[in-house]
Amino acid sequence: MIPAELAAVPERPFSVAVPAHRIASIDVFRGLTMAVMIFVNALDGVRGLPWWTHHAPARADVMTYVDMVFPFFLFAIGLSLPIAMERRVSRDPSIRGLWAHVILRSGSLVVLGLILANAGKADRSCMGIGGNVWALLGIFSASLFLIDYSVLKRIQPFGRILQGVGLLGVAGLFAIFRRRSPAGGAAWIDPSYPEILGLIGCSYFAVAALYIPTRRWKWAAAVWFVLLIGICALSAARILVVPGSPPIYVWPFGNGALCSIIVAGILTTSFFRDGSSVVRPGRAIALSIIFGSLSLIAGWALAPLGISKIRATPTWSLWCVGAASILFAVLYWICDMRRLLR
């Protein structure tokens, strides 16, 4: 469901001079998050379960553990983002190439999200095929385009051809798509909500736009995190109201909540990777726990503004960040210091 490259295997910080160093706790954190994601998705259609095994209702000021799974994945993206970008720069130092990669990956996620969001709206009478078949062909075509053929030695010579076929397939499927508009006429793709994949893609792009120009500034991630949480709090308090509610394609930061969680992951990674060296593990763990604790306290202070995943309130963001940062510190101690899972 989620392209692997957004959570790339960590190897080195954003400095070509650093020797390869794998942070096992990032892999474990991501793996546990994916396992819980699969578990809660499987429970979604089961009836008769306690209320806390599902997402909390939109109007209720409460959150369940299910409401924390998506933000934990966003946090994992932030953990890996600096290291993944460093890997790409080590292969191609061109900033233009880095931006091309970011645009391609974020755009691909939006396209995949639109495919999933519109499958159920497809009008078979206008298209000639059903929505499920259309979506399956769309995902298959997108996969052909996104696969890294450099690691597939046998078909590597045909990689460009297969990518071209995939791109043409996605374009053709979007061209034939038709749905019924509220007025009863034929309409094209509904871009209003690109599903979770599209939200991830837009948030990934927005955070990259902040991170790439300021990646060498030591406290940049902390500043961005505070500003994004501030925007979220002002929006929840209705002090900051944007007329017309611009779509996420125009303003990918949204109310700041999703982007703040990704930036929190970047900030946490900076505790464990400092420029060209690995910082002292004990100090890094302490900083991560302190950051997590401060986030939990700040979330408690902002609780009057609401506690809701669906409303993306600041308390939801901060409590998820706090829990994720502390959990990562524990996993780092287990996996990278004690090496108990190796």
**What is the three-class DSSP state of 274?**
strand
pLDDT in tens, 24-76: 899 999 999 999 999 998 888 788 889 888 899 988 999 999 999 999 999 99
Residue 341, pLDDT above cutoff 70: no
Contacts of 331 (CB under 8 A, 6+ apart): 25, 28, 29
191, pLDDT greater than 70: yes
Q: Looking at residue 95, what DSSP letter applies? A: H
DSSP three-state, residue 138: helix
Residues 80-138: tens digit of each pLDDT: 999 988 888 888 888 899 999 999 999 999 999 999 999 999 999 889 899 999 999 99
CB 82 within 8 A of CB 215: yes
Does residue 243 have a pLDDT over 90? Answer: no
Average pLDDT, integer, range 154-159: 85
Give 20's pLDDT tier (boundaries 50, 70, 90): very low
Q: How far apart are CA 142 and CA 169, in angstroms?
A: 8
Among 170, 191, 169, 167, residue whose Cα is nearest residue 179: 191
Q: Mean pLDDT over residues 288-317, rounded? A: 97
Q: Is the pLDDT of residue 239 over 70?
A: yes
Residue ranges per structural domain of the chain = 4-102+194-337
- Work out the average pLDDT over 132-160: 90
pLDDT of 18 over the 70 cut: no
